[in-house]
Amino acid sequence: MQHYILLADLFKYPSENLHVKNDEAIMLIKKDFSSERPKYTRFSTHIQDHSLRELQEYYVNTFDIQALCYLDIGYVLFGDDLKRGNFLVQLLSEHRKINNDLGTELPDHLPNLLALLAKTTDTAFRDEFVQYILLPAILSMIKGFKEGSNVYLDLLMVLKEFLKRDFQIEEININIPAKQQNCVLAGNGCHASSFENIKNQNYE
């Protein structure tokens, strides 16, 4: 699961080491997931062909200024609804269990969640979280992306395929009935949680 640390780095605000991370991702995909090379090529070329300042401007335009997509999964699922607050509290508890450094971002920020997947030893939580929360949110992000030529859409597509492969989930089965989502992050056993009222969206 350590490749999710690398994928998390690719979704962060570009820094000086982005070219190194890009090279590592190229090698990872070539070795372990060659079918995703075509999807990753446009993102990789974008990294190689632009200066750090240009990459940073592109990132900000994608996720902040123009908001072509949002990297905060709770916002993707709940918008401004108060249910997002409960979601963040539950996630913060999971991050603290493994001493996951959130930096300046919220617990539901995608890079933080990918790091959580890589570091947690709670396989039951990880499996449920990916199937019932993260993958549906990723599909929603892909479906709602406002600019099809944006290279971060390609990166989301690569992430989706990694998750489907690693957790053996068929895309047709990702839209889970809301009442089944109550188990995720519920604590001791399956009982009502902040996911009880998750929107029953169609992610196809």
Query: Could you say which architecture CATH assigns to the domain 3-183?
Result: Orthogonal Bundle (1.10)
Domain residue limits, the chain: 3-183
Predicted pLDDT at 114: 97
Beta bridge partners of 109: 72
Predicted pLDDT at 89: 93
Predicted pLDDT at 79: 82
Q: Which long-range contacts (CB under 8 A, 24 or more apart) does 96-101 make?
A: 97/122
Collect the ranges in the chain with pLDDT lower than 70: 172-204
Which residues fall within 8 angstroms of residue 146, CB to CB, at 6 or more apart? 66, 67, 68, 69
Predicted pLDDT at 172: 65
Predicted pLDDT at 67: 74
Tokens representing residue 11 in the block: 């979704």
* Burial environment of residue 10 by CB neighbours within 10 A (0 to 12, 13 to 18, 19 or more): buried
Backbone angles phi and psi of 146, in degrees to 5:
-85, -5
